[in-house]
Amino acid sequence: MKEETVQTMPNTMQVVCFLGEVGADAREYVGGKAYTLARLLQAGFPVPPGFVVTTTAYRAFLAANLTANDPMDDDRRQALFLEGRMPSELIAAFRLAYRVLGPGGPVAVRSSASDEDGVTFSFAGQYETVLNVTDFDGLLDAIRHCWASLDTARVESYRQRFRLGESCPAMAVLVQRMVPATLSGVAFTMDPVSGRQDVVVIEVVRGGGEALVSGQVTPRRYVISKVDATADVGGVMDGCLS
């Protein structure tokens, strides 16, 4: 039997592409998060396997469910993404990519907006992530929730705060194999509280990172100087990390 593969097309046309296929000019189509992980993977770092539902798929979904005269208030947009018709060609592409990714445990389904994880603005915690997805129906539902999170009151407030304008970019979605983590963390290339740019800030918790990003626990915090690599440790955890 011939091995199944996802059809290779230019990034502007693909509705799905694997991280290893993401080109250097594809940030607009795969979003900031997926683009950064693809660059790390292609540089030889150990990145869990995954694929991207590109902004082309997002726009195809909108085209299948909207007309020029449709009102697009907040309630209508949420209902559109969560209840609108998923085109059969998108379902087929997502199913094939999920099958090619293969068995190996649950996946994380993560937003990857085109303005996310940028040089100036991160949108950290603003968009949706769905963890421990174990079947295709759950995958479709998670993709819908990631799309819907692009235009919420929380995101609108963030955009207004930083004067980013009212128009929302398109949303890509990253589907990635989860690993059974002993420790998880978040690294900032500057201090997100003080604004210092001469340090890297790393926050670490036991297990998966959901408790950290949701604020459920107080992490162990490392502040590392970019100049001489010295570190200060702050914060508390239940027990030690070693």
Q: Are residues 106 and 222 in the same domain?
A: no
For residue 50, the cross-strand partners are 176
Q: Are residues 74 and 119 in the same domain?
A: yes
Q: Are residues 121 and 218 in the same domain?
A: no
Give the pLDDT band (50/70/90) at residue 167: low
Q: Are residues 194 and 157 in the same domain?
A: no
pLDDT digits (tens, 9 = 90+) for 8-53: 333 446 899 999 999 988 988 999 899 999 999 999 999 999 999 9
- Asked if the model's pLDDT at residue 178 lies above 80, the reply is yes
Q: Are residues 172 and 211 in the same domain?
A: no
Which of 49-58, 88-97, 126-135, 197-206 shows the lowest per-residue confidence on average (mean pLDDT)? 126-135
Neighbour-count burial of 80, counting CB atoms closer than 10 A to its CB (0-12 exposed, 13-18 middle, 19+ buried): buried
Tokens of 136: 């295709």
pLDDT at 166: 53
For residue 51, the cross-strand partners are 18, 175
Cα dist. 109→70, 102, 134, 190 in Å?
29, 15, 11, 26
Tokens of 171: 């949303």
Distance of alpha carbon 68 from alpha carbon 182, whole angstroms: 50
pLDDT digits (tens, 9 = 90+) for 84-114: 999 999 999 999 999 999 988 899 999 988 6
Q: How far apart are the first and last CA of the chain?
A: 48
User: Where does a domain end: 130, 161, 177?
Assistant: 177
> DSSP character for 109?
E
User: With contact defined as beta carbons under 8 Å apart, do 51 and 114 qualify?
Assistant: no
Distance of alpha carbon 111 from alpha carbon 47, whole angstroms: 17
Output the domain CATH number for residue 86: 3.30.1490.20
Report phi then psi at 45, rounded to 5: -80, 150
Q: Are residues 67 and 128 in the same domain?
A: yes
Nearest to 111 by CA among 61, 171, 29: 171
Q: Provide the whole-model pTM.
A: 0.76
Cα dist. 226→57, 191, 203, 223, 229 in Å?
40, 12, 16, 10, 6
Neighbour-count burial of 228, counting CB atoms closer than 10 A to its CB (0-12 exposed, 13-18 middle, 19+ buried): exposed
Is 168 a member of any domain?
yes
